[in-house]
């Protein structure tokens, strides 16, 4: 089931009214990333305010989610002796069948979920449609012959929860951020149609040869079969680990285990006799046999009419299966951040304040830092067209940031001095609070530098991914270019290499103006946000401005600073600020290559989760994490520079590839998130190179995809991350509003063309009539008409081709997840797919070459 955005507070209000001191605590399953951390903080603040007991359980990967289902969720079920309760999934489970993974549905169980209700709030896409349009508890059957539809709970229509729905009986409820209602109408109709179809055995008959078969059904069937095969086969290098099978089992089909849960590819929904969760895994399982009227025009006679009806139903099934298969195969993407969704819930409840707003701002900012957008994981591309939003999430991201800026103004009104409203600082980057008690949030014209308040200006510029790609600071020429920029600005190296907070005050006041003046000479148009002469941008909107918060005299940090520090604490840990500490931590792992114990790794990552979780509301712990963040980004700069200078980035057919297997920082990149940051850093530089050489990005404006692998010597594996190119739907501005405007423009153009054509036809008809009356030949007239018609058809075809690219679902998305699964199914490579992000896998060391060779032939960007 899914909860519409307009009813976002409905379930929480019901929770408020029904909870009491003896109720079981709310179980929060949360993934290990900064946005989920911030969302968890917001939710727990709401629960504490209402005295609702809760407990938090960090989840490491899909196997960790299955383990949590077995250890924590199953005992809550009434059928297992529990008393029911609520499970909240933050950033986990949106792409998998939660009924199966958490053990909430069992064969023959007449009451699935047994009082356990699951809320799913996830930004990863695609959704598992079984969670979205199914997942409801069935009503008690009044009669043994009660139909399935009659047992769907009241208030649920096509999976959508209405105002009359009464929660509390269990089920899976997905919180919709608007995408389901706006974008999944076709998938919803296909899902419902498959549920309503009778049970028909599909024995592989070729229905294309029948008279009533439409063209393309065979292609759709091939697509369905290909999609449903993807991810069916899994291999693992460890027979002692529960995530796969042993090397001896390579020739046998794998059993469905935890590592298999990563596959969102599915066929038609199956409708169990007693279960409410409608899974999308088995394309040819039986459906209950409801009476269906024969189609009109069927042949006479029982046999002929039955055969025609069967063929018609098979074709309808395959068409609907193809719609669902296309949805799953459209590539991965990200939607609205979890922290933004939870802040919307707090706002609906009237609980918004500066603390919750700051958590939402940090969560949204962290999504940008990790390159998570509606193009999947991809390097950002900055454009100079001021009429088009640049960077994260395109128009949608710009709207979210503008809403956050409006909230900052509402909750932090400007000070009034001498009867006048004090003007906001428009030039100097704020580094101190206004008073010892100042905890306000302010808007700030943040430059695209890294940790500028906590580093020197030189180091902050040197370690900026934006300047890395534009100035090419991986080379000596790039470093000289940076020095020349500073010299033109009148900033000496001695000045810019000291701490920014101790720089000359005059230099700091003039820094913004000088960056705007001289940045354009080096193609740095977006190095700092533009600002008008009145101190405002677009009438006070301050587009592109960042967010800063103070904690009295103790500290002043930007939202990006906090996002960078929290991410580093999750990926490295607060004690690892040097190579020696990293290696010592690595030695705690088990050395057995054939049977590595992933529990030790998971325990270490979970301990880092709690460090980061505490730091979000402890400014001293946050400041203590700054050296860790600096250490991580120094390593990213060194490694990225080395890979580019040594020409270790190799072009393959479908993507570019590089391998990190030596050097002092290699252990840092055993964490997928740290490796993703390195990949985005390099990907942005490659996209800028493509733009300079060719004048545009390759792959139709989407940029060249990049695969980065990092060696984990202790495990004998490579962590592999596949990131999209520099483009995607965000940077091509394929959002709903822009698409709607383009459609209106095309319709107006088509209408004008039609009117012009009719006017021409009228004139030609008059000419033909006059010539016919005069007895003249019309051959030249016919040739002219054919030529004009051909020209018009050519224009129409061009428009249709452009429309097809823009309207194609998944255009520009990261499709590495599906490509990885296809490689596993086609080769003997031993691969572990356990991450919630589809673009991350682990490959056995000796299997990497074969894995990449097969991967290079796959379409990794749609």
Whether residue 113 is preceded by a cis peptide bond, meaning omega within 30 degrees of 0, is no
Q: CA 441, CA 408: separation in Å to the nearest integer?
A: 6
| Most confident residue range from 234-248, 276-290, 598-612, 818-832 | 818-832
Q: CA 813, CA 819: separation in Å to the nearest integer?
A: 12
262-268 mean pLDDT: 42
Which structure tokens are listed for 802? 């452009």
723-740 mean pLDDT: 55
Helix (H, G, I), strand (E, B) or coil at 724: strand
pLDDT tens digits for 30-86? 999 999 999 999 999 999 999 999 999 999 999 999 999 999 999 999 888 888 899
State residue 669's pLDDT score: 94
Helix (H, G, I), strand (E, B) or coil at 51: coil
420-447 mean pLDDT: 79
- Identify whether the C-beta of residue 287 lies closer than 8 Å to the C-beta of residue 321: no
State residue 689's pLDDT score: 81
Helix (H, G, I), strand (E, B) or coil at 551: strand
pLDDT tens digits for 104-152? 886 556 668 888 999 999 999 999 999 999 888 876 655 555 556 667 8
Crossing angle of helices 354-369 and 559-571, in 10° steps, is: 60
Is the pLDDT higher at 382 or at 713? 713
Q: CA 456, CA 16: separation in Å to the nearest integer?
A: 49
Lowest-confidence segment of 193-197, 381-385, 843-847 by average pLDDT: 381-385
State residue 756's pLDDT score: 83
628-644 mean pLDDT: 95
State residue 737's pLDDT score: 52
Helix (H, G, I), strand (E, B) or coil at 159: coil
The yes-or-no verdict on residue 26 having pLDDT over 80 is yes
- Identify whether the C-beta of residue 640 lies closer than 8 Å to the C-beta of residue 682: yes
254-270 mean pLDDT: 40
pLDDT tens digits for 556-568? 999 999 999 999 9
612-626 mean pLDDT: 94
pLDDT tens digits for 452-484? 999 999 999 999 999 998 899 999 999 999 999
8-state DSSP, 58: E
Q: CA 816, CA 285: separation in Å to the nearest integer?
A: 29
Query: Given the structure tokens 């909230």, which residue do they identify?
Result: 407
- Identify whether the C-beta of residue 569 lies closer than 8 Å to the C-beta of residue 21: no
Which structure tokens are listed for 101? 């993974």
The yes-or-no verdict on residue 295 having pLDDT over 70 is no
Query: Given the structure tokens 């850093």, which residue do they identify?
Result: 681
State residue 158's pLDDT score: 85
737-763 mean pLDDT: 76
616 pLDDT band (50/70/90 cuts)?
very high
The yes-or-no verdict on residue 792 having pLDDT over 50 is no
Q: CA 557, CA 439: separation in Å to the nearest integer?
A: 11
Is the pLDDT higher at 321 or at 770? 321
8-state DSSP, 647: T
Q: Any idea where the domains of the chain sit in the sequence?
A: 2-230+265-293+306-333, 354-415+424-557, 736-775+790-807
State residue 742's pLDDT score: 63
509-527 mean pLDDT: 87
pLDDT tens digits for 213-251? 444 444 444 444 444 333 333 333 433 334 433 344 433
8-state DSSP, 280: -
Of 772, 794, 793, 768, residue with least CA distance to 781? 768
The yes-or-no verdict on residue 613 having pLDDT over 80 is yes
159-173 mean pLDDT: 91
| Three-state helix/strand/coil letters over 789-800 | HHHHHHHHHHHH
State residue 152's pLDDT score: 81
The yes-or-no verdict on residue 405 having pLDDT over 70 is yes
Is the pLDDT higher at 425 or at 787? 425
At 119, which helix (H) or strand (E)?
strand 116-121
- Identify whether the C-beta of residue 34 lies closer than 8 Å to the C-beta of residue 566: yes
State residue 144's pLDDT score: 56
585 pLDDT band (50/70/90 cuts)?
very low
775 pLDDT band (50/70/90 cuts)?
low
Which residues are paired to 334 by β-bridges? Answer: 124
Q: Which backbone phi and psi does 697 adopt, to 5 degrees?
A: -80, 150
Q: Could you tell me the CA-to-CA distances from 752 to 755, 757, 759, 786, 797 in Å, in that order? A: 5, 8, 11, 20, 17
Report CA torsion sign: 626, 631, 632, 636: positive
Lowest-confidence segment of 39-43, 350-354, 568-572, 601-605 by average pLDDT: 601-605
């Amino acid at each position: 089931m899914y909860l519409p955005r307009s009813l976002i507070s409905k379930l929480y209000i019901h929770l408020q009214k029904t909870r009491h001191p003896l109720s079981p605590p709310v179980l929060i399953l949360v993934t290990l990333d900064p946005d989920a951390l911030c969302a968890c903080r917001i939710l727990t603040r709401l629960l504490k305010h209402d005295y609702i007991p809760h407990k938090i359980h960090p989840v490491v990967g899909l196997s960790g989610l299955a383990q949590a289902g077995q250890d924590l969720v199953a005992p809550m079920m009434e059928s297992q002796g529990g008393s029911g309760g609520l499970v909240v999934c933050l950033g986990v489970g949106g792409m998998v069948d939660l009924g199966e993974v958490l053990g909430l549905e069992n064969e023959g169980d007449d009451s699935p979920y047994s009082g356990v209700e699951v809320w799913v709030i996830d930004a990863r896409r695609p959704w598992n449609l079984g969670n979205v349009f199914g997942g409801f508890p069935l009503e008690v059957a009044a009669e043994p012959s009660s139909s399935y539809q009659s047992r769907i709970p009241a208030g649920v229509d096509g999976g959508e929860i209405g105002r009359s729905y009464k929660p509390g009986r269990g089920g899976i409820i997905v919180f919709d951020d608007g995408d389901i209602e706006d974008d999944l109408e076709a998938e919803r109709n296909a899902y419902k149609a498959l549920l309503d179809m009778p049970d028909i055995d599909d024995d592989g008959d070729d229905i294309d040869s029948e008279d009533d078969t439409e063209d393309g059904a065979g292609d759709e069937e091939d697509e369905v079969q290909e999609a449903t095969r993807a991810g069916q086969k899994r291999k693992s290098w460890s027979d002692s680990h529960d995530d796969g099978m042993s090397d001896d089992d390579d020739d046998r089909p794998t059993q469905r285990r935890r590592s298999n849960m990563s596959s969102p590819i599915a066929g038609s929904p199956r409708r169990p006799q007693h279960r409410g969760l409608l899974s999308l895994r088995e394309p040819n399982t039986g459906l209950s046999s409801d009476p269906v009227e024969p189609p009109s025009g069927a042949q006479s006679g029982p046999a002929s009419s039955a055969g025609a009806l069967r063929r018609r139903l098979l074709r309808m099934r395959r068409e609907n299966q193809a719609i669902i298969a296309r949805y799953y195969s459209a590539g991965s993407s990200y939607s609205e951040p979890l922290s933004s969704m939870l802040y919307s819930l707090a706002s609906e409840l009237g609980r918004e304040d500066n603390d919750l707003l700051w958590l939402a701002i940090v969560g949204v900012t962290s999504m940008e830092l990790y390159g998570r957008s509606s193009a999947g994981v991809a390097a950002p591309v900055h454009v100079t067209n001021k009429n088009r939003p640049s960077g994260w999430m395109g128009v949608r991201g710009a709207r979210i940031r503008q809403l956050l800026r409006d909230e900052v103004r509402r909750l932090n009104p400007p000070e009034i001095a001498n009867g006048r409203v004090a003007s906001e600082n428009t030039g100097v980057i704020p580094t101190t609070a206004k008073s010892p008690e100042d905890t306000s949030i302010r808007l700030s014209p943040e430059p695209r530098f890294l940790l500028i308040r906590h580093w020197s200006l030189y180091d902050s510029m040197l370690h900026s991914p934006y300047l890395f790609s534009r100035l090419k600071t991986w080379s000596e020429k790039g470093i000289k270019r940076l020095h020349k920029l500073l010299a033109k600005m009148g900033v000496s190296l001695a000045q810019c290499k000291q701490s920014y907070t101790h720089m000359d005050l005059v230099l700091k006041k003039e820094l913004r103006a000088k960056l705007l003046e001289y940045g354009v000479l080096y193609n740095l148009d977006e190095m700092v946000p533009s600002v008008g002469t009145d101190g405002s941008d677009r009438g006070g909107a301050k587009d592109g401005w960042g967010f800063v918060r103070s904690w009295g005299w103790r500290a002043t940090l930007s939202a990006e600073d906090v996002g960078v520090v929290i991410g580093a604490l999750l990926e490295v840990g607060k004690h690892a600020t040097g190579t020696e500490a990293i290696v010592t931590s690595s030695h705690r792992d088990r050395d057995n290559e054939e049977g590595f114990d992933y529990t030790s790794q998971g325990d270490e990552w979970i301990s880092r989760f709690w460090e980061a979780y505490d730091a979000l509301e402890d400014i001293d712990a946050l400041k203590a994490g700054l050296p860790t963040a600096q250490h991580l980004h120094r390593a990213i700069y060194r490694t990225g520079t080395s890979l580019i200078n040594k020409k270790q980035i190799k072009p393959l057919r479908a993507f570019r590839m590089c391998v990190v297997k030596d050097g002092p920082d290699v252990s840092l990149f055993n964490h997928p998130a740290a490796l993703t940051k390195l990949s985005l850093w390099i990907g942005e530089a490659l996209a800028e190179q493509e733009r300079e050489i060719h004048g545009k990005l390759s792959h139709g404006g989407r940029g060249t995809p990049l695969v980065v692998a990092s060696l984990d010597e202790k495990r004998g594996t490579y962590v592999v991350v596949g990131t999209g190119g520099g483009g995607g739907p965000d940077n091509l501005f394929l959002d709903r509003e822009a698409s709607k405007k383009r459609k209106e423009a095309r319709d107006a153009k088509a209408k004008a063309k039609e009117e012009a054509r009719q006017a021409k036809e009228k004139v030609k008809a008059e000419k033909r009539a006059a010539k016919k009356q005069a007895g003249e030949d019309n051959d030249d007239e016919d040739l002219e008409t054919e030529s004009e018609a051909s020209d018009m058809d050519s224009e129409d075809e061009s428009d249709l081709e452009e429309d097809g690219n823009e309207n194609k679902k998944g255009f520009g998305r990261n499709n590495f997840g599906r490509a990885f699964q296809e490689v596993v199914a086609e080769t003997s490579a031993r691969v572990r797919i356990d991450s919630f992000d589809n673009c991350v896998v682990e490959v056995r060391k000796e299997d990497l070459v074969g894995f990449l060779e097969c991967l290079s032939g796959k379409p990794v960007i749609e």
